[in-house]
Homo-oligomer: A and B are copies of this chain.
Amino acid sequence: MARDPNPNFMAGVPELMVLRLLQDREMYGYEIVEAIKTETAEVISFGEGVVYPLLHHLEEEGALTSRRKLVGGRSRVYYTLTAKGARRYGQLAQTWTSLAEAIHSALKGARHAPEL
């Protein structure tokens, strides 16, 4: 009911960010959650309730593989990007870019510049 203070614009973004991070190196869930906040200087932040289910989904799809590792008595699940996942990332990144460009130019084309 309460008007959402920060609107959507987030659909599909978690997948994009996760794939992007895993392209560089193997990572575990908790680390990914923190990395997204850090990389974007808090502008973007996804809770664990978003990231964990997404990770599971991507693994089922074959975009990721996982292995359990014990580090300092702690159990972590590390994820690695597969070839399929890398391909998926390429497509997503391209789709996102073309969409963002289209929206950006539409906003710029406004007769009266948006002012806050």
Contacts and interface: CB of A to CB of B under 8 A. Distances in A.
Contacts of A97: 104, 107
A116 interface: yes
A20 B91 CA distance: 28
A2 interface: no
A110 B22 CA distance: 10
A110 to B, nearest CB: 6
Contact of A39 (B8, B11, B23, B109): B109
Given A8-B11, A9-B96, 7 more contacts: A10-B99, A16-B103, A17-B106, A40-B105, A43-B98, A44-B99, A96-B107
Interface in A10-44: 10-13, 15-17, 20, 23-24, 39-41, 43-44
